[in-house]
Amino acid sequence: MHGSESTVLEQATRRRTFAVISHPDAGKSTLTEALALHAHVIGEAGAVHGKSGRRGVASDWMAMEQERGISVTSAVMQFAYGDVVMNLLDTPGHADFSEDTYRVLSAVDCAVMLLDAAKGLEPQTLKLFEVCRHRRVPIITFINKWDRPGLDALELLDEIEQRLAIRTTPVTWPVGVAGDLQGLIDRRDPAQVIRFTRSTGGRAATESRISADADAARELSGLDAAEDELRLLDAVGADFDRETFLEGTSTPVFFGSAVSNIGVRLLLDAIVSIAPSPTPRLTLEGARRPVQAPFSGLVFKVQANMNPAHRDRIAFVRVCSGVFERGMVLNHAATGRPFTTKFANAMFGQNRTVVEQAYPGDIVGLVNAGALRPGDTLHEGEPVQFPAMPTFAPEHFVTVRTKDPSRSKQFRRGVTQLESEGVVQVLTSDFRGGHAPVLAAVGPMQFEVVLHRLEHEFGAPAVLEPLPYKLARRTDQASKDRLNRMRGVEVLTRTRDGILLALFTDRWSMDRAGADAPELTIEPLNITAE
């Protein structure tokens, strides 16, 4: 191994690239802030994320963002913790939940599943968990808001095990029920109790360790119960197991309160000590590309129209191997064409500061990246390609038509372009004709993006009409006609991959179709490719 390869390997070993998966309001923003509090924030890569006057270059996107109070631009925060470089990728939620939210998970090596102690598993967490499971992304669980009344700790573990079919291995354990948090016990060192004291006026607590035998510990009313529970956990062998954690079949669990900074450092330490650093990534050929191989990167998200004057696109690229150096000319595997990063402002940092170098696990934002699509590979040297980005089961459906028939050419071009960029899925059928295609999305915000871009970028103002469908399943040619004759069902072809999708107005009509005609193909469509 020559010098630069060992540098890349060493740098990769220092990286932890992860995302927080949670339902809105579980405390993701609070946890992110609390993590950053412990660390030294190096930069924040956001499309137009500037804090200091950068809003001057704000595009229509920013207007949309401000209007709706949602973050469409934040992408990744990089921070150093000790010797480790953390890349925390944002998974947009709320109204901006979209295919991008899922795609981000193709770029991480680990995920923190954040739960609200009072609510347990919630729908959005479940969806994101499924994507992680499909990719075998290791999951660390953080049960948040233990400072407030909530469910019983053992019950929460049981819920996770039952509903996710994953083994739970608590690493920390709360002393005191939810709402009466008296301390934490680190199961690796159960002879001590970690206590938290809040500074006067401050929300954040500082921690200290006392012996579990000390009088001060024995006075804690929750300690006996906690010790009983720990004995129970020991008896069932719920100990951290690295192998099953890395393959995604067990999850270490931490308890705490992000808002009070309780348990956050223990989580951060765990990310350093147990979360994997970038590993060789699987290529389309089935080989694994070593991290010290020449540069390769995966485009996992493309955001358009940051600056209406330039119509630029920004592609977020996860470095998979080698070192990224600004100015290098890469190969774009999908087209075989060179892609120059010379003028593409590699941006990283609060004010789009230019990044000169990035290592495996890091995220680089490339502007002027109109040719790049989510799932594309960029590389140096010998050809390499990573598997295509999966497509996800849409849950929102509309028809779209141009307001002005004289703009129908622009309209069609716009729809085709937006589909090829992965902004929405486009569905067609013989019955509907081509003038008003059906758009399908994971989140409704994707439709707004389509309308906005059709009007401002393609000069084809359009209108949407909602369709009553809520669910999509994969079907086949043999089942198509039968399904089309049923009430509350319609079969369409997804233009991206030619897959036939049966859309159902509700679960009831889907179950009934399956029960009435069990020979029909109605298959789940969570993730259709990898």
Binding site for ligand G4P (CB under 6 A): 22, 24-30, 144-145, 147-148, 257-259
Closest-CB residue for ligand G4P? 27
Taken as a whole, the chain contains a residue count of 530
The pair phi, psi for residue 11, each rounded to 5°, is -65, -40
| Residue number, 77 or 384, with CB nearest to ligand G4P | 77
Nearest CA to 195 out of 231, 226, 220 is that of: 220
Q: How far is the CB of 332 from ligand G4P (least distance, A)?
A: 35
| Residue number, 148 or 452, with CB nearest to ligand G4P | 148
| Residue number, 259 or 492, with CB nearest to ligand G4P | 259
Q: How far is the CB of 444 from ligand G4P (least distance, A)?
A: 18
Q: How far is the CB of 101 from ligand G4P (least distance, A)?
A: 13
Contact 453/419 with Cβ under 8 angstroms? no
Task: State both tokens at 116.
Answer: 């609200």
Q: How far is the CB of 137 from ligand G4P (least distance, A)?
A: 19
CB atoms within 10 A of CB 429: 16
| Residue number, 173 or 411, with CB nearest to ligand G4P | 173
Q: Kind of pairing, strands 74-81 and 84-89?
A: antiparallel
Q: How far is the CB of 443 from ligand G4P (least distance, A)?
A: 15
Q: How far is the CB of 406 from ligand G4P (least distance, A)?
A: 44
Residue 302 to residue 206: CA distance in whole angstroms:
41
Handedness of CA 365, 371, 373, 377 (dihedral sign): negative
Tell me the β-bridge partners of 317. 299, 364
**Exposure class string for 122-153: b at 16+ Cβ within 10 A, else e:** eebbebbbbbbbebebbbbbbbbbbbeebbeb
| Residue number, 38 or 456, with CB nearest to ligand G4P | 38
Contact 8/323 with Cβ under 8 angstroms? yes
| Residue number, 27 or 365, with CB nearest to ligand G4P | 27
Q: How far is the CB of 156 from ligand G4P (least distance, A)?
A: 15
Residue 191 to residue 211: CA distance in whole angstroms:
6
| Residue number, 26 or 132, with CB nearest to ligand G4P | 26
Residue 397 to residue 469: CA distance in whole angstroms:
6
Q: How far is the CB of 138 from ligand G4P (least distance, A)?
A: 21
| Residue number, 24 or 488, with CB nearest to ligand G4P | 24
